[in-house]
Amino acid sequence: MAKKPTRQKQKKSRSAPTMAMAAAAGAAAAAAIPEVRLPPGGTLDVLVDVGPMTIDYTIAYAGEHLFSSLVDSSHPVPLVSGTRFLAWHFEHTQKNWTHTIGVSVNQGAVQILESRSEANKDSDSSLGFAVIVS
């Protein structure tokens, strides 16, 4: 009569696929985080386009508040050398809301970091970030 596999052996055979899936999920999540690389001496501007707002959205960089507003805005970022985070928070309460946040390197084309709207049935609360390498 064949021996039944022990519980420990069964556990090992289940953990390998679980670990592989966790690694794949981590890699996918990491790939979704925008990264912006600047050339030496480069400049960075943050551009925000919003629909109707009743609560200020907030933009922060390197742990410091950059600006808050209820309307469209464009602001230069006081860059800090190295790898830092650009973070944002939007909270929508009005109908037909929209928001788009992007960055421009050296006053070039805008790279969209996030674009959401009620029409697309997106969540009305958004907290996001991008990695800025300068």
Concatenated DSSP letters for 36-96? EE--TT--EEEEEEESS-SS-EEEEETTEEEEEESS-EEEE----SSEEEEEEEEE--STT
Q: Please state, in angstroms and rounded to a whole number, the distance separating the CA atoms of residues 103 and 65.
A: 16
Q: Please state, in angstroms and rounded to a whole number, the distance separating the CA atoms of residues 33 and 3.
A: 49
Please write the tens of the pLDDT for every residue from 18-53. Answer: 555 555 455 545 558 899 999 999 999 999 999 999
Q: Which domains does the chain have, with CATH numbers?
A: 36-133 (2.60.60)
On whether the CB atoms of residues 32 and 20 are closer than 8 A, the answer is: no
pLDDT higher than 60, residue 121: yes
Tokens of 5: 């596999």
Band (60; pLDDT cuts 50, 70, 90): very high
